[in-house]
Copies of this chain bind each other. A is one copy, B any other.
């Protein structure tokens, strides 16, 4: 257990390091208003804190820097919710002022504002399209052997995929098929679509039209992939401003990471509510061993959800980011649910 004084010193160190990105020395600490004891005392306490694993030195005679364990402690026990300024709130809400109808625009703009307000990089995941429910199914033939299948979901999302028509498939065949599909598929979430198609609809189609087999195969193929929810970034290059990223290799790794959809998606915890903080190596990814990732989810129509992540150096301003994320989360949720 830490003594009060240790906590106090530790807090000063973390706050100072978050602000200035420089190892914090005893003299510097002693100058703070709230600190009433001498550098020597502080040095003793720091030695103890280091022994306990909360602090580190960059070299034998340097000031102290919080360790990962230190940040973890800070985040778990010392992080008091910050009141963010009305100015920030105003900015966030500007996203929703315009009454934009398109969800995509709203999310894109949110990503930008978050990155501006934090000066870190923001990643927003759109809602999980797979959970949208089919509202209307239609097929538009383009030529004798290709057509576009269009699925509109109840949220107004439109999925479309080209597929090839079997030889001799007529316009009336298509009409019949569309009718059957609409009868059977409306209300089904996209993720269950290919299953439903294969198991249930296939036989019905074969009954009413001749060769339903290969066209269903085409359709199944068309509805299967594209699982990924869309990813939006804000401030991709903000990391260049962080002193810990004045290093080509690190920047590069980060940029590469952001180009790799699967890795980006692994940053999120899909099903846990609330705000989550992963510090440094807790992220499992070597590429961001000195980054922290703060994530949360926002909800759309209760059922579905999107996700937000802020990625910054471990020395990130957790207080502020958590507060901002909280506001953004609830505002997004509200904006996307009240509309229907």
Contacts and interface: CB of A to CB of B under 8 A. Distances in A.
Contacts of A256: 237
Contact of A340 (B143, B162, B246, B248): B143
B163 A101 contact: yes
A263 to B, nearest CB: 14
Q: Which 9 A-B pairs have the closest CB atoms?
A: A158-B160, A101-B162, A140-B152, A240-B252, A156-B162, A237-B255, A136-B140, A148-B156, A142-B156
Residue of A138, A158, A161 most packed against chain B (CB within 10 A): A158
Indicate how many identical chains form the complex. 2
Contacts of A164: 101
Contacts of A140: 135-136, 152
Contacts of A135: 140, 142
A82 interface: no
A146 interface: yes
Contact of A148 (B158, B163, B339): B158
A148 B142 contact: no
A247 to B, nearest CB: 8
A236 B252 contact: no
Interface residues of A, number: 33
Interface in A138-169: 138, 140, 142-143, 146, 148, 150, 152, 154-156, 158, 160-164
Nearest to A160: B158
Nearest to A254: B237
A251 interface: yes
B142 A154 contact: yes
A87 interface: no
Contacts of A162: 101-102, 156
A156 B139 CA distance: 11
Contacts of A259: 236-237
Contacts of A150: 150, 152, 158
A155 B158 CA distance: 17
Given A150-B152, A236-B259, A246-B248, 13 more contacts: A101-B146, A102-B161, A135-B142, A138-B138, A142-B155, A142-B340, A143-B340, A146-B339, A148-B152, A152-B160, A156-B162, A237-B259, A240-B255
